[in-house]
Amino acid sequence: MAFQVTKQTQIGEMLQKDIGIAAILMAAGMHCVGCPASQMESLEEACMVHGMDADMLTKRINDYLANEAK
């Protein structure tokens, strides 16, 4: 089964699996993806800090991953 992201997935783990996720995070306004501290944050924690909808961003990332797997 292909890698899927949950709200508990750490930013660092996502970026290790697919660096293309960085573009999605940055487009959403999360410009700290390169910050060492962000690597250990979950997607949900990062979304809370940035005032973003974690469910929406999780879906967007998983949609991207599903298209990459085709």
Q: For 2-52, write each residue's pLDDT tens digit.
A: 789 999 999 999 999 999 999 999 999 888 787 887 888 999 999 999 999
Position 68 scores a pLDDT of: 86
Query: Does the predicted TM-score (pTM) go above 0.85?
Result: yes
In a domain, 36, yes or no: yes
29 in a domain, yes or no? yes
In sequence order, the 6+-apart residues with CB closer than 8 A to the CB of 22 are 15, 33, 34
The domain tally of the chain equals 1
Q: Which residues span the domain enclosing 36?
A: 11-68
**pLDDT the model gives residue 35:** 81
Instruction: Look at residue 2 and tell me if it is in a domain.
Output: no
Confidence band, pLDDT 50/70/90 cuts, at residue 69:
confident
**pLDDT score recorded for residue 1:** 53
